Amino acid sequence: MVAGLRQADVLVSDGRIVQVGSDDGRGGALEAPSGAVVIDAGGCVVLPGLVDLHTHLRQPGDEEAETIESGARAAALGGFTAVVAMPNTNPPLDSASAVRDVQSLARDVPVDVFVAGAITVARAGERLAPMAELARLGVRLFTDDGNGVQSAGMMRRALEYARGLGVVLAQHCEVASLASGGAMHEGEWSARLGLPGIPASAEEVMVARDLLLAREVGARIHLLHLSTSGSVDLVRAAKRLGVAVTAEATPHHVSLTDASAATYDPLFKVNPPLRSKGDVDAVRSGLADGTIDAIATDHAPHRAETKDLPFDQAPPGMIGLETAVGVVLTELADLPLAQVVAMMSTRPAAIAGIGPANGGAHGGPIAAGHAANLCIVDLEATWVVDPSRLASRSANSPYGGRKLTGRVRHTVLHGEAVVIDGEAQR
Kindly list the catalytic residues.
Answer: 298
313 three-state secondary structure: coil
SS3 sequence, 68-135? HHHHHHHHHHCCEEEEEECCCCCCCCCCHHHHHHHHHHCCCCCCEEEECECCEHHHCCCCECCHHHHH
Q: Name residue 120's beta-bridge partners.
A: 128
* In contact, 383 and 389? CB cutoff 8 Å: no
In the chain, how many H helices and how many E strands? 13, 17
Distant-in-sequence, close-in-space partners of 196: CB < 8 Å, separation ≥ 6 = 181, 182, 183, 184, 190, 312
> What is the spatial distance between Cα 77 and Cα 367, in angstroms, rounded to a whole number?
23
Q: Is 13 left (phi over 0), alpha (psi -120 to 50) or beta?
A: beta
Measured in whole angstroms, how far is the alpha carbon of residue 364 from the centre of its chain? Answer: 17
